[in-house]
Amino acid sequence: MSRPCPQHQHPHRLIQQPLSDLTDKLRQGELKITIPRQAILDVLRKHSSPLTIKEIHTSLGKLDCDLATIYRNMHTLERMGLVRRYDFGDGAARFELSPEEGDGHHHHLVCTRCARIVELDDCFLNEFQDQLARRHGFTQISHRMEFFGLCPNCQVP
Amino acid sequence: MSRPCPQHQHPHRLIQQPLSDLTDKLRQGELKITIPRQAILDVLRKHSSPLTIKEIHTSLGKLDCDLATIYRNMHTLERMGLVRRYDFGDGAARFELSPEEGDGHHHHLVCTRCARIVELDDCFLNEFQDQLARRHGFTQISHRMEFFGLCPNCQVP
DNA sequence: CTTGAGGATGCAAGCGGTTTGCAATTTTCC
DNA sequence: GGAAAATTGCAAACCGCTTGCATCCTCAAG
């Protein structure tokens, strides 16, 4: 389905962090270090683009843990800021490891046919967002933005 | 799918009692003008912000038509370009009448507490989008972008 | 090293939004 | 009016996701 993205297109910011870092964070959050938890983080570390729960589950392979466990873990990991959730509008949430520290906010360009995902590094919307907030009196403002189209490989039926 | 050539269809239609623009378009698309269909379009015409299927259904009131019918109709109306679908990430699709003719592309600022929706008139992303397409070799490119925050009324718990 | 409290998991049931198969009905055209 | 085709209602199913509950595991205190 989704194939690996050419390296030159997006030097992604998933800095390979030592496992101890992650487990450290787990401990800080008073989370127990369990087999499924470690395995999920491992899977996420090995992929550069956001994965669905199903993809995570099949990536876990022989460690065939329950879907409910993955769902629950994605929530807790998200709550801890270890993982970032994306919604491409196809009904399945996708997750990737949060880039280290900085808010690492970024967006995606998604092929509507093969689901290939290109990561876009920069988000230029912050000042526009602030302006919007001021104009309409909103606070705690955030945004979702994704691009869709046919990738080069999918343009010939 | 295939639309008849505008010149060669239903010549009598033009001199009949004035039908709404919408029913006009239904005929052009070879869609039958049914009670539920008209009622749904009526509801959408009376609301300025996108409605969920449920909201449409309750707005239909005494004409208590089946949810499946609404779902099916939203698909066909969307395919005809009469209706626009939005996804605010809360699991329920929302629909509004397509702005007349021009692509009428626009975005929303959604209160995450009371779901109040502010429509933003302009979209400044088109040239950026084209640039993206060129850079990554994508075609048929489009985007989704929504803003979220707390509206003025929801800022004091 | 043992132990136990509370977190985490597996299982199964359930939920909300959406889709679909099919028979019955409605719209439209003649 | 009557036939063909589109549309509807109904019920069941689907999909992603959540939850209740009994059991299991982790980890720190002893």
A111 and A151 Cβ atoms separated by less than 8 Å: yes
ipTM for this prediction: 0.81
B61/B126 same-domain check? no
Q: Report pLDDT digits (tens) over A53-100.
A: 999 999 999 999 999 999 999 999 999 999 999 999 899 999 999 877
B88/B45 same-domain check? yes
**How far are the Cα atoms of A73, A104, B28, B110 from residue A88, in angstroms, in the given order?**
20, 18, 33, 18
Provide the mean pLDDT of chain A: 82
Q: Tell me, what CATH number does A113's domain have?
A: 1.10.10.10
B19/B75 same-domain check? yes
Residue B66 has φ and ψ, to the nearest 5°, of -65, 145
B91/B120 same-domain check? no
B91/B150 same-domain check? no
* pLDDT recorded at residue B16: 34
Residue of chain B with shortest Cα separation from A93 = B89
* pLDDT recorded at residue A105: 80
The residues in B 27-86 lying below 8 A from A, measured between CB atoms, are none
Q: Which residues of chain B have pLDDT under 50?
A: 1-19
B95/B136 same-domain check? no
B58/B89 same-domain check? yes
Those nucleotides of strand C lying less than 7 Å from any protein Cβ are 6-13, 16-21, 26-29
Nucleotide minimizing C1' to CA distance for residue B23: C27
Measure the CA–CA gap between B120 and B107, rounded to whole angstroms: 5
Q: Report pLDDT digits (tens) over A109-151.
A: 999 888 889 999 878 898 899 999 999 999 999 999 999 999 9
* pLDDT recorded at residue A87: 93
Residue A126 lies in a domain: yes
Nucleotide minimizing C1' to CA distance for residue B71: C18
Residue A157 lies in a domain: no
* pLDDT recorded at residue A14: 32
Q: Tell me, what CATH number does B112's domain have?
A: 3.30.1490.190
* pLDDT recorded at residue A15: 34
Measure the CA–CA gap between B82 and A5, rounded to whole angstroms: 36
B14/B88 same-domain check? yes
Where in the sequence is the domain holding A137, given as residue range(s)?
7-152
* pLDDT recorded at residue B103: 62
Averaged pLDDT for residues A99-110? 77
B133/B83 same-domain check? no
Q: Is A152 on the interface with B (CB under 8 A)?
A: yes
Chain A residues with CB under 8 Å of B85 CB are none
B59/B86 same-domain check? yes
Residues with CB under 7 A from strand C: A 30-32, 34-37, 65-66, 68-69, 72-73, 76; B 10, 27, 32-35, 52-54, 67-68, 71-72, 75, 91-93
Residue A148 lies in a domain: yes
B42/B109 same-domain check? no
* pLDDT recorded at residue A27: 63
Residues B143, A139: C-beta atoms closer than 8 Å = no
Query: What per-residue string of b and e applies to B1-23 under the rule 16 or more CB within 10 Å gives b?
Result: eeeeeeeeeeeeeeeeeeeeebb
Number of domains in chain A: 1
Joined together, the tokens standing for residue B14 give 């033009």
B123/B85 same-domain check? no
